[in-house]
Structure 1
């Protein structure tokens, strides 16, 4: 994608115009680390159904109480944000079965809340599957999450699920679709700033940043910049107010720091390492509530150092990420490209630390 975007900038074209048939790339099946086993989460996200709608994944007996299910969901969310994918991956399948069973037994009055719990659990599952590069299964989870949120009539939850779908579309190179989906949904839910809740503002702000990320990659930097400015206004309006604790941590992770990270990301996409480092100076030095966002930001900083041949600084940033989030780093092809750039640009023998990074991300200089 970086190469295509550079070509698009040179030719003055949308990046999406240069994306052709991906069948050959899929057939090559470029090597990657073996993902954690997905068998159980696959069974829970896409259960086998028989005649009459019966499912083979139905748990025996009564499901746990709603408050128990909510506690388990937030524990899985904390594990995911802490890059503990093994814990999240093991806890989500039984949780999915439980929330679906609870929704099936809900009364008319309790059904909306039960469906919201289903939507949030599927949304978290979809996000985790995107991180693990199981895109088709992630799309199944997010589609089901959106259906549940809309059935519940919860616009905020539905909008945050759409943002997850936009992230997936960008991972698939479907930039124009991601941009259109994010902007159209943002227009549909645009809140009145004077009376919107923090969660409503956050959901809209995430969509604006998702659209900005897609437009930046599609070589439309001016549109991307305007959208980031709009997201910044929402972040200012939220201020120190926190969304309701029932939401996933991603909703509460929207704020001015995350908006600044998006500005940095757009500069990296535009191929401007100097601007990346300048904008990054005002981003918090420590992790933010949405850990993967801060980690992705630090990769932009590492890339900028590598582009300016500041290989020691780039390596230091990567080592920090290796210490904090090795499971996350292992799945980042962006990190692999940066490590390869450092390894091939160095003037001395590869250090032990750099060799360890190369082994972690699957880079063979």
Structure 2
């Protein structure tokens, strides 16, 4: 942990007139993490910083500061596993003039169909198949943009590449390859802007917001989401489901960033905006390719539960999961269900809530179910590993099932 973080926490604690013990009590945590942070120690969790920021009444980002980078493992498998994707996404530049496009005319319909098929796999948490396809998709999209230099074909090629890069960015964010993901997400936004398609660009901004939150850049995530909402805000009359879903999706991203940054008032207002958009849509709206949206009342309600977990209100998560009509599966025939990804995240929130409210058995049931139905997604979730560790701390011995889940999460390696 950086010396800057230690200095920041100490500064705000003293400004509030609190001892380390008093701050820990106000944040509802043990005093150990406070002491460890102020001593420059490692291993503090982001949710601990959220709790301390709330107790000190500052933004989470006010506590955070950059320190020296940690050494990278020499045996990092992703350096080889992502080699082809890295080459396709970040080709080496040259001073030589670009050559004229060669070969047959690109098939934009086929490119869009392939991108859509892989988007469906992504939403279904099937990542292994996607990884092999992405370098080919990137090269095909680049060829199309190079081939068409003007007119409607140029616009269509830019939009097609934006869609490919959005998929690449979200996949890389999911597997925690954040620097590469930023290259893809930025490219997706720039291509859509060059094509003059605000909604596609706004969908790219949504992907960038998620990446920024995964890297604790909460101020930027909220700022760009709100600014983009202003640009694509639906008209009162005549707005399409795509417009409501894109705008509502940005509201959810902005709310999530505000909640994590200890800005509860702003988070509540943005959640209300997302709820308004969800009500206008009426049921889950699905547009996976062009606007990366599966948005509706169920999604908006599930995302709202994340805020309760961030503020430490696990009991409200359990209560709403049992009482809110939008979260009852029997209602999904009418409302439309969530994406597989959103549904899995909801189950992970439930697992975390169960263990925090003293029901580790129910928490383990949720983790085991996720490991069974979405193993590729599950193994990349750091909060699943944290929840698993909290469960096992309450037990002297582990069942075979627990050991298997722990091994899959990398807890025992």
Q: TM-score, normalised by structure 1?
A: 0.91
Range 337-346 or range 191-200, more displaced: 191-200
- Distance verdict in 2 for CA 1:336–1:46, change over 3 Å: same
Q: Does 1:103 align with 2:145?
A: yes
Q: Does 1:78 align with 2:120?
A: yes
Q: Does 1:168 align with 2:216?
A: no
**Match of residue 90, structure 1, among 132, 140, 147:** 132
- Distance verdict in 2 for CA 1:53–1:337, change over 3 Å: farther
The equivalent residue for 1:259 is 300
Shift, 1:364, TM fit: 3.8
Shift, 1:273, TM fit: 0.7
How far apart, in 2, do the equivalents of 1:59 and 1:292 lie?
Answer: 39
Shift, 1:28, TM fit: 5.3
**Match of residue 38, structure 1, among 74, 82, 104:** 82
The equivalent residue for 2:190 is 147
Per-residue Cα deviation, 1:165-217 (whole angstroms, up to 9, x for no partner):
11111111111111111111112221113211111111111110101000100
Larger radius of gyration: 2
- Distance verdict in 2 for CA 1:22–1:61, change over 3 Å: farther
Is contact 2:299-2:338 (8 Å) kept? no
- Distance verdict in 2 for CA 1:63–1:49, change over 3 Å: farther
Shift, 1:111, TM fit: 1.3
How far apart, in 2, do the equivalents of 1:83 and 1:32 lie?
Answer: 26
The equivalent residue for 1:351 is 399
Q: Does 1:48 align with 2:99?
A: no
**Match of residue 215, structure 1, among 245, 258, 264:** 258
The 3-state SS of whatever aligns with 2:70 is: helix
**Runs of at least 5 residues in structure 2 that lack an aligned partner in the other structure:** 1-45
Per-residue Cα deviation, 1:294-349 (whole angstroms, up to 9, x for no partner):
21221111000000121110011011110111111111111110000000022x41
**Match of residue 359, structure 2, among 278, 296, 310:** 310
How far apart, in 2, do the equivalents of 1:342 and 1:148 lie?
Answer: 45
The 3-state SS of whatever aligns with 1:297 is: helix
Is contact 2:115-2:289 (8 Å) kept? no
How far apart, in 1, do the equivalents of 2:389 and 2:71 lie?
Answer: 20
Is contact 1:166-1:179 (8 Å) kept? yes
The 3-state SS of whatever aligns with 2:347 is: helix
The equivalent residue for 2:228 is 185
Q: TM-score, normalised by structure 2?
A: 0.81
- Distance verdict in 2 for CA 1:288–1:85, change over 3 Å: farther
Shift, 1:288, TM fit: 4.5
Q: Which has the higher contact order (CA 8 A, sep 6+)?
A: 1
- Distance verdict in 2 for CA 1:345–1:244, change over 3 Å: closer
The 3-state SS of whatever aligns with 1:247 is: coil
Shift, 1:12, TM fit: 1.2
Where in structure 2 are the equivalents of 1:196-215 lying within 5 Å? 196-215=239-258
How far apart, in 2, do the equivalents of 1:59 and 1:110 lie?
Answer: 14
Is contact 2:106-2:143 (8 Å) kept? no
The 3-state SS of whatever aligns with 1:27 is: coil
How far apart, in 2, do the equivalents of 1:340 and 1:59 lie?
Answer: 54
How far apart, in 2, do the equivalents of 1:359 and 1:59 lie?
Answer: 49
The equivalent residue for 1:269 is 310
Shift, 1:218, TM fit: 0.7
How far apart, in 1, do the equivalents of 2:347 and 2:130 lie?
Answer: 23
Is contact 1:59-1:97 (8 Å) kept? no
The equivalent residue for 1:18 is 63
- What RMSD in Å do the two structures reach over aligned CA positions? 2.4
How far apart, in 2, do the equivalents of 1:47 and 1:59 lie?
Answer: 17
How far apart, in 1, do the equivalents of 2:261 and 2:389 lie?
Answer: 25
How far apart, in 2, do the equivalents of 1:203 and 1:39 lie?
Answer: 33
How far apart, in 1, do the equivalents of 2:289 and 2:73 lie?
Answer: 40
